[in-house]
Chain A
């Protein structure tokens, strides 16, 4: 089926045929600068996001906190935190991991490094402008598209530059057999420019009229979460789980089945019933959401059959990130599918259940999976181990505990809030007070996630310091050697 890659002997470049796989160490060397840039900036953004999120969360304990500053009002901090998580961390780290996987799966060097670094710089410029814009009051008012128009141009061009690098890398691949991870990664790459330009054009550039704006925003958000992040995260899961336990993925066909069902049905808008829209739109959305149960179950089967009862699971440090990510994907996906059913939606719509489900997807699945990928990739790029293995485990347990302490109380509180709101005999303020307890517990979750994110950044800084020292020591040794020869 597929040739195992040749052991790491560096062939002279001139001898390389078009189909000779490039050794892994060389691939990593070619990836070093651009991918480290993307991953480290992503880690900075995830810390920024959780700091902003923490401020937002503390406002439910003390609403008067920072109330004299327009910059830090909840209505600005909250979308800023979400945008930093989704675009600053999720997409940036996702792109970094996709690039690395495309290079490795294609057994080829990363192409277009300069373009990718430039794209990454543009992306971060756009992010900075966007988050500051939201905090400064320039938000567009559309969910997950809050970043003002001036920020979206660098973001879009940055994405295209990174995307072109990814395509060129893919094009020069030495291994022609496509894996399901490559399918997912390419689909994700293709998906974003289309949905983003559509949403920006019809919402910010030339706004459509009336509640159609809600249709477009809902369509965009659902495409981004279910399809883009679904594909990016699943590409990592379907790549790293077989890789870490050194067993083949159970089935390529199930991978393709996931691709088709998720691409076809995952993008149907997620418009809840009862919206101020003609009834056919929510009905179609409910149908699409329910159909995504099929790819979710397929992912579950594929991962379960791949891992079997393999003893290697316990050996690998990164493995728990990916297994937790898969679990979070399955739970949040099923919740997202059922959430739109009329009988469920009547309770949970407009409650804290929605952010709980969304955060489980964005953090529990996407962020934790990408954390695992980052911990796998960075040591290979720097050719150094992380200084502390305990801190890797620490990141995982803090992040996992954080997301659980965030989601579980909010989900329960959300259901109670929904039941209370539907009971018109209860005054609204009473309903809000009863769900406040859960809201305040979830702050602990926010805090743990903040710690996990800081730990990730700290680890990345420490491994860079260590790698820097190694390089310096080697240089020093080389220098003293030559000095000795001369003497």
Chain B
């Protein structure tokens, strides 16, 4: 039962096999280029690039933003300004519904109010409101969240508001400008800042 151990020949690897390997590699890389989604983590089939996916979201971005704004408003702002935006004079919170501050042409002033807070008294749509203090929200919300809240407030037709949407970069810009301001705004200071 003592067979010889097997030996091995030394024939070369067929050129056709190497050619097939090269061909499949080439094919594979072209497919990876076409279908791989650029190795992006958010690209799911059948989309092959992030831009394609984003293009399919044109309107709902806005709808989503407003919904997010409403949620954040109800949780954080409604205790004083009420969910209907009518304000609560008892704690010195002026109304947002129909407010001339809110409906200003640009959001320059309201963004500042949210970022750093406000010390009254303040005149809103002709009525004077007491000495309530609004807290700064700079460290609580991110830019996109402030933009969402303010867009919800400014565009809220049910409240009679019809101002423009607030963009993330607008908030980011003002946040940077007011970085060193360590205190609340007063209405007089704000009135010096252009609305747009």
Contacts and interface: CB of A to CB of B under 8 A. Distances in A.
Interface in A269-308: 273-274, 276-280, 282-284, 286-287, 290-291, 293-294, 297-298, 301, 305
Contact of A251 (B3, B13, B21, B41): B13
Contacts of A293: 20, 24
21 contacts: A24-B2, A24-B3, A175-B5, A242-B8, A243-B3, A249-B9, A251-B8, A276-B44, A279-B43, A279-B44, A279-B48, A280-B36, A280-B39, A283-B31, A283-B36, A284-B36, A286-B28, A290-B28, A291-B25, A294-B21, A383-B1
Interface stretch (A4-12, A115-123, A436-444, A466-474): A4-12
B188 interface: no
**A-B CB proximity, top 4 nearest:** A287-B28, A242-B6, A251-B11, A248-B7
Chain B, interface residues (CB within 8 Å), range: 35 or more
Nearest to B37: A279
Contact of B8 (A25, A104, A179): A179
Contacts of B8: 179-180, 242, 248-249, 251-252, 255
A209 B35 CA distance: 25
Contacts of A305: 11
A193 interface: no
B140 to A, nearest CB: 28
Nearest to A291: B24
Given A261-B21, A278-B40, A290-B28, 12 more contacts: A7-B2, A175-B5, A248-B7, A254-B14, A273-B45, A274-B45, A279-B47, A283-B31, A284-B32, A287-B29, A291-B28, A379-B1
A294 B17 contact: yes
Given A287-B28, A290-B24, A298-B17, A278 B43 contact: yes
B31 A286 contact: yes
A276 B43 CA distance: 11
Given A279-B36, A294-B21, A297-B17, A254 B31 contact: no
Nearest to A293: B24
A251 B42 CA distance: 47
A308 to B, nearest CB: 11
B35 A283 contact: yes
Interface in A80-108: 104-105, 107
Contact of B4 (A246, A274, A276): A246
A240 B6 CA distance: 8
Contacts of B35: 279, 283
Interface of A: 1-2, 4-5, 7-8, 23-25, 104-105, 107, 175, 179-180, 239-240, 242-243, 246, 248-255, 257, 261, 273-274, 276-280, 282-284, 286-287, 290-291, 293-294, 297-298, 301, 305, 379-380, 383
A379 B3 CA distance: 13
Nearest to A257: B13
A361 to B, nearest CB: 21
Interface of B: 1-14, 17, 20-21, 24-25, 27-29, 31-32, 35-45, 47-48
A249 B31 CA distance: 37
Contacts, number: 126
B6 A253 contact: no
Contacts of B47: 279
Contacts of A107: 5
Contacts of A5: 4-5
B21 A248 contact: no
Nearest to B21: A294
Nearest to A274: B45
B13 A253 contact: yes
Contacts of A242: 6-8
A337 B13 CA distance: 22
A253 B12 contact: yes
A243 B44 contact: no
A243 B41 CA distance: 51
Nearest to A181: B6
Nearest to A7: B2
A248 B39 CA distance: 46
Contacts of A24: 1-3, 5
Contact of A105 (B5, B27, B41, B45): B5
A278 B24 contact: no
Contacts of A248: 6-9
Nearest to B25: A291
B22 to A, nearest CB: 10
Contacts of B39: 278, 280
Contacts of B5: 5, 24, 104-105, 107, 175, 243
A107 B8 CA distance: 16
Nearest to A241: B6
A297 B20 contact: yes
Nearest to B39: A280
Contacts of A383: 1
